[in-house]
Amino acid sequence: MINIPKGTKDVLPNQSYKWQYVENTAREVARAFNLSEIRTPTFEYTELFQRGVGETTDVVNKEMYTFEDKGGRSITLKPEGTAGAARLFIENGLASSPMPVKTFYITPAFRYERPQAGRLREFHQFGIEVFGSSAFQTDAEVIFAASAFLDKLGVKTKLEINSIGCKVCRAEYNKALKEYFKPHLADMCETCRTRFDKNPLRMLDCKEEGCKKINAGAPDITDYLCGECSQHFEGVKSLLSAQGLEFTINPRIVRGLDYYSKTVFEFVSDAIGAQGTVCGGGRYDGLVEQLGGQTVPAIGFAAGIERLLLLMENTGAKFPEEQKPRIYIAGMDVETRAKAFEIATALRLKGISAEIDHLNRSVKAQFKYADKLGAQYVAVIGGNELANGEVNIKNMTDGTQTAVKFNEIETYLNKQ
Ligand code: HAM
**What is the arrangement of strands in the sheet containing 298-304, beginning at the earlier edge strand?**
36-37, 101-110, 122-131, 298-304, 277-283, 261-268, 158-163, 248-249
Local confidence pLDDT in tens for the 416 residues of the chain: 999 999 999 999 999 999 999 999 999 999 999 999 999 999 999 999 999 999 889 999 999 999 999 999 999 999 999 999 999 999 999 999 999 999 999 999 999 999 999 999 999 999 999 999 999 999 999 999 999 999 999 999 999 999 999 999 999 999 999 999 999 999 999 999 998 998 899 899 888 899 999 999 999 999 999 999 999 999 999 999 999 999 999 999 989 899 999 999 999 999 998 889 999 999 999 999 999 999 999 999 999 999 999 999 999 998 998 889 999 999 999 999 999 999 999 999 999 999 999 999 999 999 999 999 999 999 999 999 999 999 999 999 999 999 999 999 999 999 99
Q: Which residues pair with 390 in a beta bridge?
A: 405
CA distances from 108 to 72, 111, 126 (A): 25, 10, 9
- Which residues form the pocket of ligand 1, taking CB atoms under 6 Å from any ligand atom? 80-82, 111, 113, 118-120, 123, 125, 127, 129, 256-257, 277-282, 284, 300-304, 306-307
Q: Which residues pair with 379 in a beta bridge?
A: 329, 393
Q: What is the pLDDT of residue 380?
A: 97
Euclidean distance between CA atoms 264 and 241, whole angstroms: 16
Q: What is the pLDDT of residue 322?
A: 86
Question: Residue 34: helix, strand or coil by DSSP?
Answer: coil
Residue nearest to atom 14 of ligand 1 (CA): 304
- For the chain, the straight-line distance linking the first and the last C-alpha, in angstroms and rounded, comes to 47
Residue nearest to atom 30 of ligand 1 (CA): 301
Residue of 307, 308, 312 to mutate, ligand 1, most atoms within 8 A of C-beta: 307
Cα(256) to ligand 1 centroid in Å equals 9
Q: Which atom of ligand 1 is nearest to the CA of 307?
A: 12
Cα(252) to ligand 1 centroid in Å equals 17
Residues 6+ apart with CB under 8 A from 393: 327, 377, 378, 379, 401, 402, 403, 404, 409, 412
Q: What is the pLDDT of residue 352?
A: 97
**Cα 36 to chain centroid, rounded:** 15
Cα(381) to ligand 1 centroid in Å equals 54
8 Å CB contact between 201 and 170: yes
How would you classify the pairing of strands 36-37 and 101-110?
Answer: parallel
**What is the arrangement of strands in the sheet containing 74-77, beginning at the earlier edge strand?**
43-45, 74-77, 66-68
Residue of 59, 107, 125, 155 to mutate, ligand 1, most atoms within 8 A of C-beta: 125
Residue nearest to atom 16 of ligand 1 (CA): 119
Give the DSSP H/E element, type plus range, for residue 390: strand 390-395
